[in-house]
Amino acid sequence: MLSLLGLSPALLAGATAEAQQKKISSKPAKASAAEPRIEGLNPKGTPPPIQLIPMAPRLGSLDGKTVYLVDTGFEGGGFLLNQIQLWFNRNMPSVTVVFKRKAGPYAEDDPALWKEIKEKGHAAIMAIGH
């Protein structure tokens, strides 16, 4: 009959099991010295302190300067940088724009490229994705 109404027969047994559980949980728990004590630790740990690095000094103007456009390999980043290069060529022809693809995957260092930018460039725009 209960199944015809869309109910489970377990509903009838549930009330008794719930009442028994209340009886058990209402008894005060006895602390035993023989029971082991469990200590929980935070799995996130404590991160190291952050070392702040100041931003590079701002340029007064880009006229006559060299701007590096660095593609890190993120999908669509190279296309965006090509569009930026076209904009510079149209709107600021006095700016030298150098397009470079960073070696290796995104998180991998490219010391040769950073050295080149420091020696020859005045600014850099990196396409690092979202």
Q: Residue 129's pLDDT is what? A: 72
Q: Residue 43's pLDDT is what? A: 79
List Cα–Cα distances, 35 to 8, 28, 51, 81, in angstroms: 40, 16, 45, 65
Whether residue 11 has pLDDT greater than 80: no
Under the banding of pLDDT at 50, 70 and 90, the label for residue 46 is confident
Whether residue 1 has pLDDT greater than 70: no
Helix (H, G, I), strand (E, B) or coil at 110: coil
Q: Residue 103's pLDDT is what? A: 92
Listed by start position, the domains of the chain span 66-127
- Note the pTM of the prediction, 2 decimals: 0.59
